[in-house]
A = this chain, B = another copy of it.
Amino acid sequence: MNLLDKYRSVRKRTEDICKPLQKEDYVVQPVVDVSPPKWHIGHTTWFFETFILKEHASNYKEYDENYNYVFNSYYETVGARVIRTDRGNLSRPTVDDIYAYRKYVDDAMPLLLENVQNPALDEVILLGLNHEEQHQELLLTDIKYILGNNPLFPAYDPSVATSSVGNGNAEMVNMPAGIYEIGFTGEGFCFDNELNRHKVYLQDYQISDELVTNGEYLEFIAAGGYTDFRYWHAEGWDWVKTNNITAPEYWYNINNKWQHYTYAGLKEVDEKDILNHISFYEASAYAAWKGLRLPTEFEWEAAAAKFIWGKRWEWTESAYLPYPGFTKAPGAIGEYNGKFMVNQKVLRGGSEVTSPGHSRVTYRNFFHPQLRWQYTGIRLAQ
């Protein structure tokens, strides 16, 4: 696929994801980590306007200068105006306004791509498309949060599959000690945090070829896992107590039956499904209760050819840190990854709502350890 076709395809998929939404669903921000869908629509557009059209398209006219601080990650005050601008408080620009902005930018891109031959430009466009694919996954998880925390439990779209039956037959894969090569290599796109490929020495270890299922996790709940501090990090235990955590996100015990919110509405929890929507603290406590542990991101990457992955983002023990030789790109693009490299945990794999072809074996996702609204799961190691 050429770059323009790829551009059109990715941009269209974002809009397809939003098709089942009502306008009102585009607006709200029930918690700080969840952005309003209309913000995602505008922000991904702002990326192409700011880093590509305004920098490379000679006659390009900025759509609206105010959009810069509405869709930038950093809101700035203008003059002496001090304005509350939390994303979920902004009714304007409207959804229609933002789609018009989106169309305006999309209309300007083909002309640029036809007229400018520039490998550096292609690279930024590719970054923009991968950036948009990341926001596609966030769109799907944010929409789930918005609808799944609404007391009416409205369905989004039953056709988005997010359950997967495990094979119920997990086995430990043996991995010998030695030096392994870690990090991206070869052609194609990768993020800067996957570079540089480098040697890592691993002790011998074992890693499961299956993810933990709902049924296995229900045993942990039944055994009092949420009430025994010995399995938890000190900060995890505080989190459990402060938030009265007793089950994964979206799980409700109604009349002694566990139900959970899905894209098709409230459904009974299937014990054979792969577990989902748990925090790092819960993943780690579950592993401790089993007498096992989570793998490091290096152990995961070294063994990834030995098991099937891609259903859940898998919590690892590893903190999100720079690889040897990591350097930030100059300018705003350089803010992409490096500045988040503290207090977050690496997740590996991908999920059922990850954009097709977006992840790879060297891909590093990262979230704070208490967060649960992504499709997070558990793979055990020892």
Contacts and interface: CB of A to CB of B under 8 A. Distances in A.
A24 B95 contact: yes
A342 B369 contact: yes
Interface in A189-238: 198-201, 203, 205, 230, 232-237
B324 A79 contact: no
Given A23-B23, A152-B93, A321 B318 contact: yes
A92 B233 contact: no
A158 interface: no
Contact of A147 (B38, B92, B154, B317): B92
Contacts of A88: 28, 88-89
Interface in A335-353: 335, 339-343, 345
Interface stretch (A5-13, A41-49, A104-112, A247-255): A247-255
Query: Quick one: which of A23, A280, A281, A293 has the most chain B CB within 10 A?
Result: A23
Given A94-B24, A321-B317, A343-B343, A89 B149 contact: yes
B24 A92 contact: yes
B84 A30 contact: yes
Contacts of A29: 89
Interface in A151-184: 151-152, 154, 177, 179
A1 interface: no
Contacts of A232: 339
Given A79-B252, A92-B150, A369-B343, A321 B319 contact: yes
A22 B91 contact: yes
A345 B341 CA distance: 12
Contacts of A303: none
A282 B341 CA distance: 14
A26 B322 CA distance: 43
A343 B88 CA distance: 28
Contacts of A95: 23-24
Query: Quick one: which of A83, A200, A237, A322 has the most chain B CB within 10 A?
Result: A83
Contacts of A275: none
A84 B244 CA distance: 13
A90 interface: yes
Interface residues of A, number: 79
Contacts of A252: 79-82
A112 to B, nearest CB: 27
Contacts of A318: 321
Interface string A237-265: 10000001000000011110000000000
B22 A94 contact: yes
Nearest to A70: B151
A81 B28 contact: no
A223 B85 CA distance: 31
A16 interface: no
Given A28-B90, A235-B342, 7 more contacts: A27-B91, A70-B152, A92-B154, A203-B325, A230-B334, A317-B322, A343-B343
30 contacts: A23-B24, A23-B94, A23-B95, A29-B89, A30-B89, A31-B84, A66-B152, A70-B152, A79-B253, A80-B252, A81-B151, A81-B252, A82-B244, A83-B150, A84-B149, A88-B89, A91-B146, A91-B150, A198-B203, A200-B201, A201-B201, A203-B324, A203-B325, A205-B324, A230-B335, A234-B339, A234-B340, A235-B343, A319-B319, A319-B321
